[in-house]
Structure 1
């Protein structure tokens, strides 16, 4: 069966793909999003919901500045999504902490924040606080906390509500969203455009293709001439019962969602494609949370899960245009929530080659070839 699809097809219906689709729709393009099977590894359904900049790009200036641009763009983007979807994302950008219980670990992060600030210039905004300073400001903080960094620009939102809002916004903006549409091969056509074969054997055609399928991009990237090898990174979470009181802080490892439950996370592990949680890691997470805020010792854990992040070879985003097959693009990153406002605006301009086209050369996949050559 052959069917003509819209001029741009997004492969991947997670936060990254939907954000890119929304930006292209806002620019007046006709867009279709192909979302895969329910059993696919989905970072968008297991993320922590942070909008975070601390330490990001400390050794890569383009990423430090890209992240700062995204943080500044979030309030207007949240308002746009609410207008298009009718969903309040529970956005809160009132600042966040990175807590430390080890002096040397804090010293290392302090050096990273200093380097990040050198990239950001007068846009840098953070402070390093001692444990005693923190305990005077945050009631109930544990005695083993030696200090923390704080940035007033960081925040969080309800991640599942965000994903739902994106899906609705894309459709209300005129986009077509197909679920259960797993792409098995992409074939560039001699006269331009692409033929996309689905697992159902249906063949679709598109003038342009943007590959945003996360870990599912790996078997398709070569069809379009891309060489980036993404890999999974396992993160594990604990979810507590809903609390009637609000936590006195937001941190990168402990956050309270707007409904009242507390999420505890922050782990990183190379576990292949296995997203199962482990008792050892769950115990470590609980121990960390109680060390930071001892009152959590009396709170019940009601859920636990593991989810796979999408990581490029150096951990930074990849925005690549295929030299071999014009009209094909690769977009992958592990900070899809934080970067969403830029994916829905600046990145769309880059894909459409508008004037002035944003300079995203630093995020091209050619940097991997250059590093190997060096």
Structure 2
């Protein structure tokens, strides 16, 4: 049976665009179908961190995946910039997690010690810096008196997330991919002779394979092909200041200075359903902590506060799964679309193109949430 495309990717956000870009690089005929700009888009709340530092605590496979992805980022960024013509403002100079008391610093050291112990085959990638070590290592950093120290992730960095998304989409087109915007997928139907009919708006398109990467819409689409993944929205609020002289030489958890000079402050983690409201309470909490860390922000003017929704699984780790009922249907979900972009565009896309996910991804199957099966 003739199919219009080899692969249809439902969703052109951070995950879908990276997967589509990677598949197009494997010589596949790929169509990405995207919804409207008013849809719930996690990319709008993305802090832009390329971060493995402490990620996957209690989940060693997620830890390994994150570390592998950040290690691949320099080469990935270089290739993407060359293909897209976009400058990503990517830097990998390390990343900090500030601690506001000696007890907090001690607890952080204990937690990271356990985190490293999960993967004894990997060399340590973090270290604890006392306040004195912080001051010596970053002499231009004017920290508040409450900062007792920090953990430092040597492999961490940051990127402009909006440029990253634009670059992925542009490079995807450069590789011969096709995008239809304003066409959210509403139905996926397996065809008797193999392949799928995908409905987007008033159009039906056929493909040999389909990859669901539609963020919060993925749960509904997945259920159409036997991929029932439990996900929930989590609200994240952010603040951003006017452009400032250099204050923060490397990014930190919840605090980073962009290449343009603005300072991003965040991010909240709120279980409020699909509520996109911003709140003064959240703004006060974020601003107070930021000022404890960087008192120099006191005279800065805040120019924007906004909120968006993250995609969260019950355990916070990604989901990668192929449908056992409808071969050729896959789903990819995560809340770390920036960090894992190098993985989605590289190893994951190559595995999809080869028709079989590696056994190393079995741990990310959504069957882990099925209590009866696990029992």
TM-score under structure 1 length normalisation = 0.95
Which residue is 1:30 aligned to?
Answer: 29
Deviation at 1:321, TM superposition (A): 0.2
Which residue is 1:242 aligned to?
Answer: 243
Which residue is 2:302 aligned to?
Answer: 301
Deviation at 1:143, TM superposition (A): 0.6
Say which SS state the counterpart of residue 360 (structure 2) adopts. coil
Distance 2:347 2:374 in 1: 30
Residue 217 (structure 2) pairs with residue 216 (structure 1)? yes
Distance 1:141 1:244 in 2: 15
Say which SS state the counterpart of residue 288 (structure 1) adopts. helix
Distance 1:349 1:248 in 2: 36
Residue 146 (structure 2) pairs with residue 144 (structure 1)? yes
Asked if structure 2 preserves the Cα contact closer than 8 Å seen for 1:41 and 1:308, the reply is yes
Which residue is 1:267 aligned to?
Answer: 268
Which residue is 1:351 aligned to?
Answer: 352
Deviation at 1:246, TM superposition (A): 4.4
Which residue is 2:369 aligned to?
Answer: 368
CA displacement, residues 108-140 of structure 1 (integer Å, 9 cap, x when unaligned) = 432321122123334321111223432444431
Which residue is 1:123 aligned to?
Answer: 123
Distance of aligned partners of 1:313 and 1:356 in 2 relative to their CA distance in 1, 3 Å threshold: closer
Deviation at 1:356, TM superposition (A): 9.6
Say which SS state the counterpart of residue 233 (structure 1) adopts. strand
Distance 2:325 2:146 in 1: 55
* Matched length: 371
Say which SS state the counterpart of residue 7 (structure 1) adopts. strand
Which residue is 1:48 aligned to?
Answer: 47
Deviation at 1:350, TM superposition (A): 2.2
Residue 177 (structure 2) pairs with residue 178 (structure 1)? no
Deviation at 1:100, TM superposition (A): 1.6
Which residue is 1:277 aligned to?
Answer: 278
CA displacement, residues 25-48 of structure 1 (integer Å, 9 cap, x when unaligned) = 111111000001121100112200
CA displacement, residues 51-97 of structure 1 (integer Å, 9 cap, x when unaligned) = 00111112111111111100110000001111111111011100010
Gapped regions of structure 2 (runs ≥ 5) = none
Distance 1:341 1:305 in 2: 27
Distance 2:251 2:128 in 1: 16
Asked if structure 2 preserves the Cα contact closer than 8 Å seen for 1:65 and 1:119, the reply is no
Deviation at 1:373, TM superposition (A): 4.0
Which residue is 2:165 aligned to?
Answer: 163
Say which SS state the counterpart of residue 17 (structure 2) adopts. helix
Distance 1:356 1:15 in 2: 20
Distance 2:290 2:373 in 1: 40
Distance 1:303 1:364 in 2: 38
Residue 315 (structure 2) pairs with residue 314 (structure 1)? yes
Deviation at 1:266, TM superposition (A): 2.5
Deviation at 1:349, TM superposition (A): 2.4
Deviation at 1:5, TM superposition (A): 2.8
Distance of aligned partners of 1:205 and 1:341 in 2 relative to their CA distance in 1, 3 Å threshold: same
How do 1:50-65 residues align onto structure 2 when only pairs under 5 Å count? 50-65=49-64
Deviation at 1:171, TM superposition (A): 0.3
Gapped regions of structure 1 (runs ≥ 5) = none
Distance 2:374 2:5 in 1: 40
Deviation at 1:248, TM superposition (A): 3.3
Deviation at 1:202, TM superposition (A): 1.8
Deviation at 1:360, TM superposition (A): 1.2
Asked if structure 1 preserves the Cα contact closer than 8 Å seen for 2:219 and 2:228, the reply is no
Distance 2:33 2:329 in 1: 15
Asked if structure 1 preserves the Cα contact closer than 8 Å seen for 2:9 and 2:16, the reply is yes
Distance of aligned partners of 1:72 and 1:219 in 2 relative to their CA distance in 1, 3 Å threshold: same
Asked if structure 2 preserves the Cα contact closer than 8 Å seen for 1:134 and 1:141, the reply is no
Let me know the Cα RMSD of the aligned residues. Answer: 1.8
